[in-house]
Structure 1
Amino acid sequence: MRTAGEEIVSSCPQCGVEIRSDRRFTTWCAACDWNVDPQGPDEQKRGMDGVRRRIAQRYGGRLFDELSGEGGGGGGSSRRTVPGLLAFALALAVHGLTLVLAAVGLLGLIRGWGGLGMAFGLFLLALAWSLRPRLNRLSDDDRVLLRADAPELYALVDEVAAALGTRSVDAVVVDVDANASVTQLGLRRRLLTLGLPLWEVLSPQQRIALLGHELGHFTHGDTRHGMVVGTACRSLGTWLYYVRPMPNPNVLQAITNLACVPLRLLITGVLALLELLTARASQRGEYLADAAAARAGSTEGAVGLMDRLMVTDSIVTTLHRETNSRRMRGSGRVGRHDGDGLWEALATHLDSVPASEFERQRRVGALRGHSVDATHPPTHLRRRLLLSGAPASAAVTAGGSRTERIAGELAEVRGTLAREVVRDGYGNL
């Protein structure tokens, strides 16, 4: 074995081919896939997350075949389907149960005034209130950038939205998750959440592709995240919280746990049915959002975004390492400059990831059915679908001066979040 800097040159123990690898990453053989996945398949997840992942992998492959035949998945429709209508009806039934609880509670409060019925009525009213449909809203802890704070960033988002034929967002939140998302605020407003760790490791065109993907969700109705079905899923989640088993139970608690089993199975079954009814439309929406990313930022930008998403674990690991080293350097006391250079160090590391590691991650994804999370199709299939069609040129571009102006608008929140990450540790915010 020979080494040169970060490079290691060795021979594959399985097929004998010369391997050139980076000592910071897994050594593997591209010729025979030796050691391509040293950790082995992910442990089978239980509960609803496991159900979601299995459904995502099931429909992800089927839709890949279907959309490949349509020329890369560039088209789509948000029209209601039979499963979507059934999901809508089931969600209305969930909310109807909440309404019934409120009505019975109010009746018990009125008729049982001064007696036991009043206590029962108050209990049902409190239960119904906790299960009510909740519209998304901003919290006091959100780092919100308004248009006056970041006019250039909003102008870029507006341009991407116009290129996709949809309405832009009303607010932007910046956080420290290696992710991005869009959601409805209240009844009409739209929110874009940008995870700074992901934003910082993307090139300008990859950032536009990211915006295109997120805004693309607004152009292809996603029932699962709609107001009626989405709030019903949250209500069912609250139900599950109430009937969860009590740990280390005494005799009475053990009896209560046993009595709650049928209700817990029923709620889990309803949630699983909602997931199944909305899965195909949701998975298709992700593929179509990828096509929107390619239209906005080019196929090359969208594919580059997919590659970055493949190594989000490396983003998290690097942030943990960088924050820990800064805290050690300060002997536990975090100063105002200890966050300096955090995001630059993260971007430098991601830029140094060799092409062989991206290829390894793609092959691991094919073996495991890897996806960004339980709601997305397998990432390697999303990437392959983007490459199966004719390459798209960028509808929106970001020159150097525009990128610098946006960076200037984000400078204050970048510094604040870097200091908080170092002070509290990544993952604790």
Structure 2
Amino acid sequence: MDPEILLDQLPLELATQILAEWRASRATEGVPPPVKKTVDLYARNSEMLEHKYSREAQVEVGLLSPVDIVKQLFVHSKLLAQSTWNLYRHGFLHTMNAREQALVEQGLPQPSLVRALAALIVASKKPMADPRSLGAPQVSSRRPRTKSVSAADFEKLINHLATGYSTRNLRPLKAQSFAMAILATGLRPAEWARTTIRPARADEVPHGEPPEGWIALEVDTAKRKDDEPGWKRTIVVEPGLYQVHVHQHHDQLHAFLNSNPTAEDPATNYSVRCSRALKKACEELWPEARRGKAPVRVTLYTLRHQARANIAAAYGGFVAAAMMGHSPHTGENWYSGKHRANNLSMLRRVRNAGVPVPVPGMDVLLQAQEFENNPALMESAGPSDEQRDVP
């Protein structure tokens, strides 16, 4: 049934039963509550959409009923990306559920909130648009995200960031360090703010290598969903130029965070600034297509994808999945990159090309072993934060 029709025809008694069963399922043991960062995102999105729908309906904010808000969500979501629909739906489920429970505690039952929540619970799939109403096929103006970069192109890019601008312009230099740090570690941009660096122990470096100069990054893995447990992973980086930029990026980011203690999400602000510097450098280096190919457009996530390909080429898919902080199934489907983009087939050739492959810590190896021993984990993960519109 079309979700708008469902909402119009849903009896209050049935809606009350649906909501009660949904709350009971969420209260079962083992289902963790959403983290504060997710709750804040839900609140911002819900407030933004309620203001938008109120303006369109030409009513004051707060006067649009929950049923009408959800109807508008169904209408607008037909042309949204699946990930955006999921985010907005979960946001309204959280905020409306909290509002309904608070009002009931005050002795103010809210039938419209109950019906709106029940419709959101039942309509878990994104509403589909009628193809006849869309006219010509919709073509996105956004370029597909590049998932690999050749060694030659990357060398051109970081050299341009280092030498192509005034020495007083520090942003390209920060973008250069950010880019090299991601390629050397595979970390998500959002994970650097919660990452610590320490000297590596002798048992963490490859056999036969002197431990002096090696470092270990302890990463607080960014979660994709509220029901996934957080976990830490250790990534070991060899001495050399890339390690210098790992330190440099970490120091520059934390200096920025410390200088903006009251700003909202300063880490994302920093990533966006560096992403813009990367974009500008790519447009200057490759303004036009080459030999019929699209111009080179390298993003921070392009480098994460390429790091994952390098890691998989060196250690295999299970270790790569554990080092990247996602499941093997997700890795193969979304973040594989091109293993041959740098003509790399094994660890020694990667290092000889000047691009280090990080070494997995013991916790990463244990996680990889768990993936290998439990094939069900390969099917457990859905789209992650990297499918969303992030820098």
* Larger RCO, structures 1/2 (Cα 8 Å, 6+ apart): 1
Q: Which TM bucket (shorter chain)? A: under 0.3
Q: Could you tell me the TM-score, scaled by structure 2's length? A: 0.24
